[in-house]
């Protein structure tokens, strides 16, 4: 039987393993929509671009899902991964910063579809306070701590300029927020028990240029 992820033992699972689980769930959702009942680690590997050995190792942290030579039961594995990741729950989020990025976040359907709901939003701009965007009324950032202590959230989304990001992260942490999605282009410090994920397109671009040959060196010959 899979272990309970809340036990101390299970918390030693490497972060990189946890990071890959949502990817597997997406592949399994796709397989389920195609009415597939069983999938091999090889096929799952082809879909997720992770090696079959890595998939088997990742899933072994949570117990025995597959049977040797018979593959994984799609619905059962999906159900377990959803339970492990808490994806069948309703997660409450606070958005800090309602500029261009913040508005795109408020308008994005993809979050609520997956159980992630922005229930509070804050900005420094007094002109925006009181405005309602995507059913959320914007409050002033000076009310952040009072609002979140009264009406807590699970996740904070930081969409403020780089110079303001650390102060916002600190305030969220003081309000007991344990998971932060950061769009500001720097890595804020936070206590070890607070999870933080960085959405950073510039870092992503910079990690690709290594592989590129600039156009001028190619003489635009392609």
If one asks whether residue 85 binds its own copies (CB under 8 A), the answer comes out as yes
Interface size with its own copies, residues (CB under 8 A): 61
The residue (of 67 and 112) whose beta carbon lies closer to its own copies is 112
Torsion of CA 18, 23, 24, 25, to 10 degrees: 100
Among 14, 63, 130, 176, binds its own copies (CB under 8 A): 176
Structure tokens at 138: 């914007």
Least separation in angstroms between residue 68's CB and its own copies is 27
Round to the nearest angstrom and report the end-to-end CA distance of the chain. Answer: 55
Q: Which of residues 142-161 bind its own copies (CB under 8 A)?
A: 152-155
207 binds its own copies, rule: CB under 8 A? yes
The residue from 42, 64, 108, 167 that contacts its own copies (CB under 8 A) is 108
The pairing of beta strand 195-198 with beta strand 179-182: parallel
Instruction: Determine if 18 is a binding residue for its own copies (CB under 8 A).
Output: yes
Question: For residues 122 and 183, which CB has a smaller minimum distance to its own copies in the complex?
Answer: 183
Element (H, E) at 156: strand 155-158
Asked if 29 interacts with its own copies (CB under 8 A), we say: no
Instruction: Map 54-115 to HEC letters.
Output: HHHHHHHCCCCCCECCCEEEHHHHHHHHHHHHCCCCCEEEEEECCCHHHHHHHHCHHHHHCC
Q: Which is nearer to its own copies, 1 or 208 (CB)?
A: 208
């Amino acid at each position: 039987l899979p272990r309970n992820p809340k036990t101390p033992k299970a918390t030693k699972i490497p972060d990189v393993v946890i990071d890959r689980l949502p990817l597997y769930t997406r592949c399994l959702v796709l397989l389920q929509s195609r009415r597939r009942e069983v999938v091999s680690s090889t096929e799952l590997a082809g879909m997720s671009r992770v090696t079959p050995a890595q998939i088997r190792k990742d899933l072994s942290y949570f117990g025995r899902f597959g049977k040797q030579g018979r593959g994984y039961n799609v619905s059962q594995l999906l159900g377990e991964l959803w339970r492990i990741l808490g994806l069948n729950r309703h997660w409450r989020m606070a958005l800090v910063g309602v500029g261009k990025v913040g508005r795109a976040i408020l308008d994005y359907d993809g979050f609520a579809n997956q159980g992630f709901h922005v229930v509070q939003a804050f900005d420094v701009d007094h002109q925006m306070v009181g405005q309602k965007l995507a059913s959320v009324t914007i409050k002033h950032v000076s009310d952040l701590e009072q609002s979140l202590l009264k009406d807590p959230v699970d996740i904070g989304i930081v969409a403020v300029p780089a110079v303001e990001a650390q102060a916002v992260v600190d305030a969220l942490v003081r309000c007991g927020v344990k998971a932060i999605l950061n769009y500001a282009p720097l890595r804020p410090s936070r206590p070890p028990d607070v999870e933080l994920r960085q959405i950073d397109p510039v870092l992503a671009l910079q990690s690709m240029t290594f592989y590129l040959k600039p156009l001028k060196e190619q003489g635009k010959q392609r």
